[in-house]
Chain A
């Protein structure tokens, strides 16, 4: 089940692995993505720190890590096809896989319904 952060990232946990991407709402606001600056595997990030940067025709935006962990794998497809972030933000356009260290960090993230309400209130 996906969990969402207030900074518009999603995370989906399978065992010790967390897949991270940006939400559909976030890609709509960003506009056409032209480049994703992905981290090196092995990099360690804390929850709330910058995980990677996404460049769109509008701006360069930081993506914050919704959980702490070590980068296991990055979505190599984005190097050639950054538009995947627009076309399929919550599936094929995933950004990074992390090895998570503290599952309890997930508890203060929102579920899909809570996130939808949060976006409405923000707009």
Chain B
């Protein structure tokens, strides 16, 4: 039930004392003044409390249970980071305050820029982009501007492997690039011979997700980057899967020119379903002048200032300085983990994924199976062909068994794909519990497949009609008298 449906005329959650100041009339252009009531819900305080408490109880989150949503890094986010981000010292800052009043915040951002440089092997970072795909877009704008400044406007082609994140082609296309898909080889890696066929003077760059969405490290990455550079293109690293390589490998040392990170994923902000996110973009020295402004710089006497004078800056990509509260969380996370701690994060993320992969491979087919990084993909095509049960049905059944479903039907190169990323924060017992649930589902598929086809049964709503929702979306609630028109 929506809170609007609980509304009754005249009910309210507050009572104000009699007004003791004179009423004044709004001095505004008449057309700016609202003529009809805004239609807000009229409910009591108790109704509000019950409504939102009920919603929170229906919600499934990392704080409730295992959330192996591949490519999304749904790890536990330490509460300390939230507490710091919400502290009055930081959350009551106003972006229009003077630099002199913001020294602590600027120092935090300055230090974070440098830490991200160290982690990725890049030379400069902008903290502005508000999410991963926004970082991709920023990276593409930098590539476009770079080629324009160098008189290479004919460079229009962006190469993207078919195992890349799904947002990559969209980000490149939005900037006006022509997207060319590079097929994977039989090992699930970029096919270098295929890549060579597409390399010519029109190549603006490559977008590489590494580890890719199969959870595999691109072992030929240095050669791939070198080939693109020889064709005059720039190399862009989608760092959304950084959780697998921290303290072990650096995109900068692999030869990449531009990288984006998803701070909300790797560096612990509760995320999913719309944010807030943060997708900082790092570059090598020769591209620093292209970054969005402002950067934070250290001035004389240890003070910090905004730096706006970048010769080729693509401009601002977001209001003010990015999603500051996410930056605070990332800073707190990096400071509390330390260099050794971050390395341990990646080691455990990879260990957990391989443990679960190995257990599931007893009964399931793993796509392109070998030692994986932070995630792996099940190929459930045999289950569908032999038992008539789809990956979708199995994912829905997992909800009944108390888990969030993995990512399904992605990457597209695996039929009936189920992409599983356990993250470093889960215990062995939890991984075993998930493996047992998957085995149980397989047994049900063999003996009582209808349980799966009708799942879920124990969730607040049963199976939703996804096709109808897409074909005939109802995106806002209307009052009864407004409907039907």
Contact = CB atoms under 8 A, between A and B. Distances in A.
A123 interface: yes
Interface string B367-401: 00000000000000100010000101000000000
Contacts of A58: 409
A57 B466 CA distance: 7
Interface in B44-59: none
B453 interface: no
Interface stretch (A27-35, A66-74, A97-105): A27-35
A34 B471 contact: yes
Nearest to A55: B470
Interface in A55-113: 55, 57-59, 82-83
A112 B410 CA distance: 30
Interface in A12-35: 29, 31-35
A46 to B, nearest CB: 17
Given A58-B409, A82-B471, A32 B466 contact: yes
Contacts of A31: 390, 392
What DSSP secondary structure best describes chain B's contact surface?
Answer: helix
B415 interface: yes
Interface in B438-485: 466-467, 470-471
A123 B382 CA distance: 9
B202 to A, nearest CB: 18
B412 interface: yes
A83 B471 contact: yes
Contacts of A57: 466-467, 470
A123 B380 CA distance: 12
Contacts of B381: 123
Contacts of A32: 466-467, 470
B409 A59 contact: yes
Contact of B470 (A29, A34, A59, A123): A34
B467 A34 contact: yes
B238 to A, nearest CB: 19
Given A59-B409, A82-B471, A29 B415 contact: yes
A58 B381 CA distance: 14
Indicate the member of B409, B412, B470 with the most A CB atoms within 10 Å. Answer: B470
B467 to A, nearest CB: 3
A70 B324 CA distance: 53
A33 B412 CA distance: 16
Contact of B467 (A29, A59, A83): A83
B471 A123 contact: no
B410 to A, nearest CB: 8
Contacts of B385: 123
Contacts of B467: 32-34, 57, 83
Contacts of B470: 32, 34-35, 55, 57
A29 B417 CA distance: 12
Nearest to A62: B181
Nearest to A34: B470
Contacts of A35: 470-471
Nearest to A28: B384
A53 to B, nearest CB: 12
B475 to A, nearest CB: 15
B163 to A, nearest CB: 14
B170 to A, nearest CB: 10
A30 to B, nearest CB: 10
A34 B390 CA distance: 18
Indicate the member of A32, A82, A83 with the most B CB atoms within 10 Å. Answer: A32
Contacts of A29: 415
Indicate the member of A58, A82, A83 with the most B CB atoms within 10 Å. Answer: A58
A108 B415 CA distance: 26
Interface string B409-426: 110100100000000000
Nearest to B391: A58
B412 A59 contact: yes
Interface in B191-239: none
Nearest to B412: A59
Nearest to B415: A29
Interface string A38-49: 000000000000
A55 to B, nearest CB: 8
Contacts of B412: 59
Nearest to A122: B415
A12 B365 CA distance: 38
A12 to B, nearest CB: 27
B427 to A, nearest CB: 32
Nearest to B381: A123
Contacts of A55: 470
15 contacts: A29-B415, A31-B390, A31-B392, A33-B467, A34-B471, A35-B470, A35-B471, A55-B470, A57-B466, A59-B410, A59-B412, A83-B467, A83-B471, A123-B381, A123-B385
Given A34-B471, A57-B470, 7 more contacts: A29-B415, A32-B466, A35-B470, A35-B471, A57-B467, A58-B409, A83-B471
Interface of B: 381, 385, 390, 392, 409-410, 412, 415, 466-467, 470-471
Give the top 5 A-B pairs by smallest Cβ distance, nearest first.
Answer: A32-B467, A34-B470, A58-B409, A57-B466, A34-B471
